Amino acid sequence: MIAEEIMTKEPMTVGPETTIAEAARLMLDHHISGLPVTDADLQVVGIVTEGDLLHRAETGTERHRSRWVELLRGPGRLAHDYVDAHARKVGEVMTTDLVFVSPQDPLEHVVELMEKRHIKRLPVVAKGRLVGIVSRADLVRALLSELTQQEAAAKKPASDAKIRSSILAIIDKEPWGPRFSVDVTVKKGVAHLHGTVTDDRERTAITVVAENVPGVKSVRDHLVWVEPNSGLVIPAQGDKA
């Protein structure tokens, strides 16, 4: 998937001269946590988020530092803190160190940027102009859409033999897959997992593999965990008896 497929088109924006009060009102009224800041040509010049409004004098949350820390920070950074706490216009507090994505950028790249920069939303820019915004909420919405489609596909019947071969094929290609110590039997769409694992996390992963194969109605775990250092054998919870 690419950014264009999930982005919010024609997102709400504010200008640098928009008041802090108006920006805060828009965020609350429309249940959004950030607003792109654009100029008259729809070019993005910044972004204002809830995080930019946390340390405010009005709420008594402005930053207070000890005298020696103030000396270390210097007048420039202290002046910046003062602006954050008392500014009246968006342009005075907005973040200007921005990263953008294009409409054709894959979602893998979008998520990588969000994680690297610790941000929740990215402007989508084409030919220098804002055309959309991708937020974490858009990613969750896309996930839900895909899961809904997969759930519908999973309800289609499949033969037990096909289900078994599909599960084993996935385990075989995964780098963590215990392909030589695990087997699967399938009876009327119910997948039974047999064999041994040397890490209990493999048990969960194999269960997830089976749950994702179309046609599987339920999964029964009969795997035995053999702790490699001590040799301790721990059966599946339902098989302990």
Residue 11 is predicted with a pLDDT of 92
Same-domain check for residues 181 and 115: no
Domain interval for residue 205: 160-239
By the 8 A CB rule, do 34 and 90 touch?
Answer: no
Same-domain check for residues 233 and 177: yes
* 135: CATH: 3.10.580.10
- 104 found inside a domain: yes
Same-domain check for residues 66 and 128: yes
Going from the first residue of the chain to its last (241 residues), give the mean pLDDT of each consecutive group of 10, the final group possibly shorter.
Answer: 94 96 96 93 92 91 76 79 92 92 96 93 93 94 90 85 96 93 95 94 95 93 88 73 44
Same-domain check for residues 47 and 98: yes
By the 8 A CB rule, do 133 and 123 touch?
Answer: yes
Taking the whole predicted model, whether its pTM rises above 0.85 is answered as no
Residue 238 is predicted with a pLDDT of 64
Residue 239 is predicted with a pLDDT of 64
What domain count does the chain have? 2
Residue 53 is predicted with a pLDDT of 93
Same-domain check for residues 139 and 171: no
> What span, in angstroms and rounded, lies between the C-alpha atoms of 124 and 100?
6
Residue 152 is predicted with a pLDDT of 83
Same-domain check for residues 121 and 189: no
* 188: CATH: 3.30.1340.30
Residue 16: partners with Cβ closer than 8 Å, 6 or more residues away: 37, 39, 45, 46, 89, 90, 91, 94
Same-domain check for residues 67 and 124: yes
